[in-house]
Amino acid sequence: MDILKRINELRKERNWTIYRLADESGVSQSTLSNMFSRETLPSISTLEQLCGAFNITLSQFFEEDQGQENEFSRKFNMLSNREKNVVLELIDLLNKK
pLDDT, tens digit (0-9, with 9 covering 90-100), for 2-51 = 999 999 999 999 999 999 999 999 999 999 999 999 999 999 999 999 99
For a pLDDT cut of 70, what percent of the chain falls above it? 92
Domain ranges of the chain: 1-63, 65-97
Q: For the CA atoms of the chain, what is the radius of gyration?
A: 15
* CA–CA dist 60, 50 (Å, integer): 12
Cβ–Cβ < 8 Å for 32, 21:
yes
* CA–CA dist 49, 29 (Å, integer): 13
34 closest CA partner among 12, 58, 43, 16: 43
What kind of fold does domain 1-63 have according to CATH?
Answer: 434 Repressor (Amino-terminal Domain) (1.10.260)
Tell me the pLDDT tens digit for each residue of 49-80. 999 999 999 988 988 655 666 778 878 888 88
State residue 96's pLDDT score: 82
